Amino acid sequence: MKLILLGPPGAGKGTQAERIAERYSIAHISTGDMLRAEIKAETPLGVEAKSLIDRGELVPDEIIIGMVKNRIGMPDCENGFLLDGFPRTIAQAESLMGFTGIDRAVCIEVPDESIVGRMSKRRVCPNCKRTYTVDVLEPDEDGGYTCLDCGTKLIARDDDRPETVQHRLNVYAEQTFPLIDFFEARELLSRVDGDKSMDEVADSIFELFE
């Protein structure tokens, strides 16, 4: 199974991608996570990507396309893969369709008002990468939060500041939203309402395949 998850920043792509990848035993490929790993390792690509990501801009197509093409060729993708955060531009989508087939593109639709609230409540574990919403956590004595899996202090993503989130939404509207028409024209698009609980969204996605 070769899938794409589309949707604005904070739509719940990463949250749902983990569930889908586990259920169908396919590789979860998040370009955002791959870039954040490069930043953490302080590679030349990571240094270049950091300033763009922190400003809410996209990383250049040629870098991302090469990264994904290489990743899809790895052995754990033989049973299929789920792309989370790629493609994000028409150029990326055209390139992708040139090097692999795609079975379905699922767009998780969430209104901007819900997204701004969600991002302000997102915390991530810098060690094991688990993502949380503070709604499910008890605050520590200092008002911060701790990872339930590995005990590391959670952090907010640098690009989750409200002004950066707004810019990311604008970039999404300009550069990524046109992909909905792109995949619809190829009869590959399914839409799900992402403005529901995480379990309800997961159920709507699984229904598409069952």
| Region label for 151, one of left (φ > 0), alpha (ψ between -120 and 50) or beta (otherwise) | left
Catalytic annotation on 122?
A: yes
Q: Which of these ranges, 3-11, 19-27, 69-77, 148-156, lies near ligand AP5 under the rule CB under 6 A?
A: 3-11
Residues 42-101 that bind ligand AP5 (CB under 6 A): 52-53, 56-59, 64, 85-86, 88, 92
Within 10 Å of residue 106's Cβ, how many Cβ atoms? 25
| Partner that binds at residue 164, options ligand AP5, Mg ion, none, CB closer than 5 to 8 Å by kind | none
Residues 13-32 that bind Mg ion (CB under 5 A): 14
| Closer to Mg ion by Cβ: residue 139 or 173 | 173
CA atoms within 13 A on the CB side of 132: 22
> What's the closest the beta carbon of residue 125 comes to ligand AP5, in angstroms?
12
User: Applying CB under 6 A, which of residues 131, 146, 152, 166 lies at the interface with ligand AP5?
Assistant: 131
Catalytic annotation on 157?
A: yes
Residues 125-184 that bind Mg ion (CB under 5 A): none
> What's the closest the beta carbon of residue 46 comes to ligand AP5, in angstroms?
11
Per the residue annotation, which of 13, 36, 50, 123 is the catalytic one?
A: 13
| Closer to ligand AP5 by Cβ: residue 85 or 105 | 85
Please work out the total of residues on this chain that contact ligand AP5, with binding judged by CB under 6 A.
33
Alpha carbon distances (Å) from 101 to 7, 15, 42, 74, 93: 20, 24, 33, 16, 11
Catalytic annotation on 168?
A: yes
Q: Which of these ranges, 39-47, 118-126, 143-151, 180-188, lies near ligand AP5 under the rule CB under 6 A?
A: 118-126
- Cβ(63)–Cβ(45) under 8 Å? yes
Q: Which residues bind ligand AP5 (CB under 6 A)?
A: 7, 9-15, 31-32, 35, 52-53, 56-59, 64, 85-86, 88, 92, 118, 121-122, 131-133, 159, 168, 197-198, 201
**Residues designated as active site:** 13, 88, 122, 157, 168
